[in-house]
Amino acid sequence: MKRDSPSLRWAILQAARLIAIQSPVFKTDFVKKRKEGKQYNVALSHVAKKLVRVMFFY
């Protein structure tokens, strides 16, 4: 069950999509997950999770 804001989740995923295209570090992680056989949205959610960690813990 998802308890957070749908619009916040959408915004984070959109930011993750763009950063996966532009940042070499995040792009590497995205491509790695795709090569592991993960679906696009699953790989993107991994990038989003990493983005949130970077934003709040550094």
Is 1 contained in some domain? Answer: no
**19 in a domain, yes or no?**
yes
Instruction: Please enumerate, as own/partner, the contacts of 11-14 that have beta carbons within 8 Å and a separation of 24 or more.
Output: 12/48, 12/51, 12/52, 13/44, 13/45, 13/48
Residue 4 has pLDDT above 90, yes or no: no
Parent domain of 31: 6-57
For residue 44, being part of any structural domain is answered with yes
34 CB burial (10 A radius; 0-12, 13-18, 19+): middle
Domain count of the chain?
1
27: tokens are 């792009």
Read off the pLDDT of residues 16-53 as tens digits, 9 standing for 90 and up: 999 999 999 999 999 999 999 999 999 999 999 999 99
